[in-house]
Structures are given as C-alpha cells and as structure tokens.
Structure 1
Amino acid sequence: MGVFAIRLPDVGEGIAQAELTEWHVKPGDIVREDDVLADVMTDKATVEVPSSASGKVLELGGDVGDMIPIGAVLIRIEVEGEGNEKERPEAQKAAEPVEVTESAPETVDVSSTQPPPAQVQRTNGTKPLASPSVRARAREEGVDLRQVPGSGPAGRISHADLDAWIASGDIRQGAVTRGRNTGVEEVRVVGMRRKIAEKMAVSNRQIPHITIVEEVEMAALEDLRAALNAKYKGERPKLTLLPFLMRAIVEAVREQPELNGRFDDETGVIHRHGGVHIGIATQTPHGLNVPVVHHAEAGSLWDNAAEITRLSEAARDGSIKREDLSGGTITITSLGPLGAIATTPIINHPELAIVGINKMQVRPVWDGQQFQPRTMMNISCSFDHRVIDGWDAAVFVQKLKSLLENPAMLFVEG
C-alpha cells in the first residue's frame, strides 16, 4: 500500500490560493477516481476538485474556510501500489485514521445501535461542536445536536456519532423545551458569504452614497408587456420588467455617459465605457451573485430577456462562468415580490450607480381633482457622490421615470 497526495490544482489564471468551502469526504472514506473531494472558491466561482486516484482517505489538508495555496496538499489517500509519496513525517502518520477500535469512534460500525465509546455529555447551554457538514446533515435529519453525545475532543460530534444517534431511534424530533435557550452557535463566515461581506464592506467604506427614490406610474408599461407576451407566447422569451428597465438605462446613460463606468480608487481615474454592461443582482442558494449582461445596448428586449434567464439559472445551479460575473458598469437590484416601498441599495464597487426596483402596487394617486387608483412602483437609485453630483443623479432618475412611464419612447432611435 502507498500514499497518494492530491494537490490543489491551478483553478484559474493568476490565482495563487483558493478558499476551501466544503469537504465531500472525511478520513476513512473510500473514494474512486473522479469522485468530488472538495469545493474551493476563487473570486465568485466555486470549483469542484475531483480525485485523481482511488483509495481510502487518510487525512484532509485543511478546514472549511482555510485559504489553500495552489499546489499545496489538499488530501492524502491510501492507494494500492507505491503512491506518489515515499515517506511522510511521523506527525502526519499519527494523524491517520486507524481500524475500528474502542479508541477510534470516527469509524464506528453504524449498524450497531450502541453509541460510540468515550462520549462526552455537554452541560445545558454548551454549544455542540461539529463540522459544517455534520450540522447540515443534522438539520436534514431533524436532529438537535444539543442532544447528541460527542466522542471527539471536547465532545466534538462526528458523522459516526450522528449515525449512532439516528440508529438508536432517539431523535426526539417532537421534543418541546419550555426553559430558556441559552445556547450560542458560532457560524464561520466562509465561501460566498465571506466574499459578499468583503464586497459590501469595501463598497460601504469607500463610496459615499447618495440615494434618490422616485415614484413611477407603471400602467402603460405593464399593458405593453402583457400585450407583447400574449402576441409572442411560445415564440419568444417571456418579458419581465427587467428588459424594459435595461433598455431605459441604456437610453439614460446615452445622455449621461459619466454614470456608465467604474472608478479606480487608487489612481483616481474614471473609466467610462461605451458598452452598457448591466449587472443583475441574483439571489442563489449560496448567497448573492451579480451576473452581467454584457452589451445590453446591442440586444433587443427578447435578447436581453433570454440572457437574463441564462445567467440567473447558471448562477443558481453553480455553473456560471467567471467571465459572466465580471465587467459590469451599472447594476440592477430587486427583491421581487418581497420588495418594500423603498430601499437604499449599496453600489457594486467599483461601479458608480445602482438602480433598485421596489414593490409594484395599486395606490391612490391625486389627479388634481380626485384620487385615482394607479399601478405605482418606486425606484431607488444610489450614486457614488465622489464623482456624481446630486443634480446629475436626479436628472438620471427623472429620465428613467419618463421612459418607464412612456415606454413607446424606449423604441425611438436617438
């Protein structure tokens, strides 16, 4: 038998390290060649790392949340033959899992209903120690980890402990506790959530925001959208509000090109772009992504609608490419049906502006003589006040309002 070390491969041009976001295996597992071992993240793209050998997992090269250098050992596997490591330090050998014994609860036979040995009972209010994968599995199984004895150091709960607890049938899903819950769970911010946190911190720290909120009457646009969808049903992509708003942004920045760009904080240079590359903030199971519709100025309503669908689906299923997440010059954000009356969107650094869509609803509007029911929607637009004056911001917002309230103007060649 030999040891085969699998190193973190080069996952992108110029990338020196990647964040370990999830393990799909644990020591003692048997893996086959091409099985997915772990997920790593660089930039905003998550990459699966497959196994290049078959065998038993001996040790993992890091914890979830660690930054792993390209070329560093990610995992070691025991394989048939010599492997690719002739000799290993004693400390690494000591870390290898051993055969199932009273002192090795991590590889306990889960067919037994007996709990692993050397389990540690926690006192009330003590946080159960467990890896993210154990916590996720416990949630799926409906297991309260506070009830599960842990056999690891300091009572850490392993997959084997969880297996034994489930096998015992003592899940206690219906238990009701009336006393105070004094437990505190520590959740490490990793992966996509960490990237979002860093991005938002930079945007909020670097950019002095000015936000303008304006009411827009949407009846004409909604009538046009419904008519076009009915006319081309089954022939063309369904139109949502977004393609119309994108067209309005294209027309508005044609008159104010200074808003369609990116600001380099270090050099103090604004890069104004001819092409309008619109980011669409998209909620995914892993957090917020901002895929970019490049050259929105060159696409029709249906072209842009199809591209929005493609990008949002790829973002949600994790297949989106790095180039689809970069190069934006202005962003649209929306909370959809959960939207409020107004929001204060944070600019996607280093862009200069962001357009927020709020809830569309029927409101009473005074027409000079009486209140009339009108389909209204507020737009909330934020601007980088270092380089965009309040007057210019207001002009942009009023241009969007005029185009959305008079959608025929969206199709007039300028």
Structure 2
Amino acid sequence: MKAQQTIAKEITLDGNGLFGGQPVSMTMKPAPANHGVVFVRTDLGGAEIAALVSNVVKRPRRTALRSGEASVEVTEHCLSAVAAAGVDNLRIEIDAIELPAMDGSSLPFYEAIMEAGVVGQDVGRRMLKVYEPIVVRQGEATIAALPADEGESHLTYQLDYANVPIIGAQVSTFEMHGENYGELIAPARTFVLEHEAQLMRSQGIGSHLSEDEVLVIGNEGPLGTNEFRFTDEPVRHKMLDLIGDLFLTGAQIEGRIVAHKSGHALNQLMAKRLLEQYRANEHRQIALKNTAMDIRQINRMLPHRYPMLMVDRILEMDSDRRVVGVKNVTINEPFFQGHFPGTPMMPGVLIVEALAQLSGVLVGQSLEHAGKLAVLLSLDRVKIRRPVTPGDQLILEAEAVKIRARVAHMRCRAYVSEDLAAEAELKFMLVDDDQD
C-alpha cells in the first residue's frame, strides 16, 4: 500500500476571487497523517471546513463547501491539483470566502505544490475501489464508474456543445497515475460562453473581469486577446473539474470514470455514490471477519453498564488508528418508551454517545493509555443524517486524528447499512480511572 503524503513546506498564493473579485491570500500547510484536506477560514477565527462531499452546498457553476456558519467557494481547481499531486493531508488557510482564481486553471496550484515538494507519511493511503458499476444521470448528462485493474484510475470526459461549432464535440482521456497532469490538464482554464458572460455581468457576477482575464468564448472563438491553450481546452477543463469534485470522496479512486456532459452537481452526486458503495462493501467484508472484541472484553475496557453501554461488539481494530463496532438497536431499549412512543427513534445524543464509547475503546486498547478514561471534552461538526429506529444495526467507526498523553481527537461516523446516519468530531480528556 502506498503511503499517505503531504507537502514538505508551506506556500502562499495571492489573488482575487473569480465570482466576487474579493482579494484573498491562501496558504497551503503540511498536515499529519489521516488529517485529510481541510480549508481554514482565518478571517472567521480559524473555522475549519473539511474537503468532503458531505459538506457540499449547492452553488451554480462551482463547488462550494460549508461547515457550520463557515463556507468556502470555488474549491474544484485547487482540489484537482491536490488530487493529481497525490497529496492526502493538507491545511489550506484562506482569509476570504473564495479561493484565488489565478488564471482560471489549476496550474498555479499544482506548480505551488510541486515547488513545496511532496513527502511520504507513515500511514497507508486510502484507495476508494469501484467494486460494481455505478451510473448517475441528470437530464442528458451521465457519469459511470466501472471496476478497473488494481491501481488504475482512468477518466474519460465527453463534451458536446452542438450549438457552439467552435467547441462542438470533444473527448478527453486521462490516467491519474500514468500521465502528466501538469502538462495535459492543469493549464486548461474555466470558460464561459459569450451570452452566459453577458447574463452574469447583468447580475453583478464577474463584472470585475475582462475578456482578457477570463476565457469567454464567442461564435468565432475566444474574445479579447485570449487564445485557446489547447484546441480542446474546454473538455480538458471539464476533466480538471471532474478530478477535483471526485476528490471530495476524501480518497484516491481506483476505477474507470466515464462522464458525458456532466457538471459539478452530477460530479458531486457520483462522489456520494462511490462513497456509499465503498462503505457498504467495507461493512460486508468486516462482517465476514471474526469478532475482534466481544461484550465481555468491552466490559473490561469501558466503565459503562446497562442501560448506558452503547457498544455491543468490536468488529475491527487497526492498532490505535481506527476501530469499527456495532450497536444493535432493539425495541427493548429503555429510551424508546419516551422517545417517541408512537414513532420510536434513537436520540441523536445517544448515537453520539455510542461513538464516544467506541472512541474510548480505541484509546484504551493501547498500553500507553491503559487505566485511562476518555472523558468527553467537546463536540464539533455533529450532524444527524437519518433516523435510527428499532431493528437497525448501527455500524460505528472512529478514526484517530490525534492521541496524546492527556487528550484525544477522533473523527467518527455511524451507518445504517450503507447510509450515513451521523457524524461528529469528538475531543476527549484522558483521566486516571480510579476504579479498583
């Protein structure tokens, strides 16, 4: 398994937002293993927004992310460069809502990462493998994900602008791990048709830009002093966007992706479906394995007892990095008597409690933290995604972001089948267990 990677040193880029024109400074910084790619709004007190499809919010013509009250916009060009450079962990600090537009391509971001240098880390990279075909559609647009050979990440994009002869039908193919992204894809700029640009300007969008600064395409070709960097620059930019949007899975994809006339919304939907399939298969594989820890062993590690013990089994334990467990939800749970008698649902706070207890198992299994209790300190990014009802089986996951002598930081998720039921980031204080 290839190692996770981050950049060797921090690097700063300055520019203006593409849509609003607001000045923005952006600094990319190294991040530890299993951190993922996270945007940090320094102008909002350091609010963090993970580059994950679960944080996507709807915006026209771009990919925007939001966590709590903080958001970041036009992320796709930067994320495309990050994905192509093979960077898994990165902190991207910005002091405005939009990333700098630069020249409308991902080349400045990619060159900055290459200048900073990419270094390996001591944890294996997560690869998101396509196990079975997935197809998503919106109108005439389609994306298919197909299984491929091990390590293969091949993309095809078909663009069809039948009403714009200067563009017409174009096709681009790219192999993520075998071709030069910096030469073939990164220079391709975002583009807009002349009538679209006029409409946007009438709405006050992009009015700070001229045809020399953004690629505006008329019936005869680019307007102003612009020229195409490639004869098929539009389809190459669509490929660039596709790579950036699919990276919102939080992993490198192992499979074949074929897209036809897709945009950001459909790209994001495919990212969601890929994650759902991956999780469902992962849970099936775990269920086939022997139980890593039964209830008797759990009782020896956790102080909780009925009716507050919320973990029934441990399915998988990956050292001090990750743990997967089960909570079987039955109608006999005492909280169903009052929540709610006519429509029984597991309280969201108890789902989070189950995730906290699972985190305590992960912390307590190491010799370094033997005899310690993980006392909940703070909750962040808590989202309840779907109701949990009697008969459901909660698959609980906890990943260690950081574990130190006195504190622990966990990223947790709960699933019912392949559906995400809840997620949260939990921080704990590790205190001595005085029980004898």
TM-score with structure 2 length normalisation?
A: 0.27
TM-score with structure 1 length normalisation?
A: 0.28
Structure of larger gyration radius: 1
Compare the two structures and name the one with the higher strand fraction.
2
